Amino acid sequence: MAEDRLKISRRDFMRASTATVAAGIAAVAPVGEAVAHDADSRFQSTVAVSLPINGVPHQLTTEARVTLLDALRERLLLTGTKKGCNRGECGACTVLLDGRRVNACLVLAASAHGREIVTIEGLAQGDRLHPVQQAFIDHDAFQCGFCTPGQIMSAVGCINEGHTASNAEIREWMSGNLCRCSAYPQIAAAVEAAAREMV
Ligand code: FES
Ligand code: FES
């Protein structure tokens, strides 16, 4: 008996709640319009972004949620920067932002507005390779090559930061860049050699 009363009570409660919510929504606006408006403002808002990349200004209108990595690869077709994990774990997407190494998959394009960006496409001077690029070739520091653009950009940052006093220090400060081919000994040797050349 007590159970019956409980069931009725639940049914009554649901009827009353539904009526109250419906009345509230109707008082504000027609249901369809309100939902569509929210969806528009949250998921379709766009921002105008200026990205100076490798010394060239690029103007983009993009969704606020777009990452720098996707803006580079899919909007500007700068596909040298690779997408590996897309969550900050592999370093394949490393670029320089105001001279510092960042994972482009963790940076919103909008937050890079007006900041100097250097990608792998911006390192060589015409036909002349950057010393780090040349060192990677000289030391055979890649196999499949997928991680290589990120390794090279990270190495440039590592050398500029001065973390090249020893092979062990280089390995430590390059540890955010993974290589599934395990070319680590050659990569560290290449960074060491490039660092000597760049001082
Ligand atoms: S793709 Fe950005 S860290 Fe892996
Ligand atoms: S060279 Fe293949 S993942 Fe590094």
pLDDT in tens, 171-190: 999 999 999 999 999 999 99
pLDDT tops 70 at residue 6: no
Q: Which is the closest atom of ligand 1 to the Cα of 106?
A: 2
Is the beta carbon of 129 within 6 A of some atom in ligand 2? no
CA of residue 85 to ligand 2 center, whole Å: 14
pLDDT tops 70 at residue 79: yes
Residue ID of nearest Cα to ligand 2 atom 4: 179
Its pTM stands at 0.80
Identify which of 14-28, 31-45, 101-115 has the greatest average pLDDT: 101-115
Is the beta carbon of 146 within 6 A of some atom in ligand 2? yes
Residue 5: per-residue pLDDT: 47
pLDDT tops 80 at residue 193: yes
Residue 27: per-residue pLDDT: 39
Q: Phi, psi at residue 171, to the nearest 5°?
A: -60, -40
Residue 116: per-residue pLDDT: 98
CA of residue 162 to ligand 1 center, whole Å: 23
3-state secondary structure of 168: helix
Average pLDDT over residues 153-163: 98
Enter the tokens of residue 47. 């921002």
Identify the DSSP state of 25: H
Is the beta carbon of 92 within 6 A of some atom in ligand 2? no
Q: Helices marked H in 29-164 — which ranges?
A: 31-43, 68-70, 131-138, 148-161
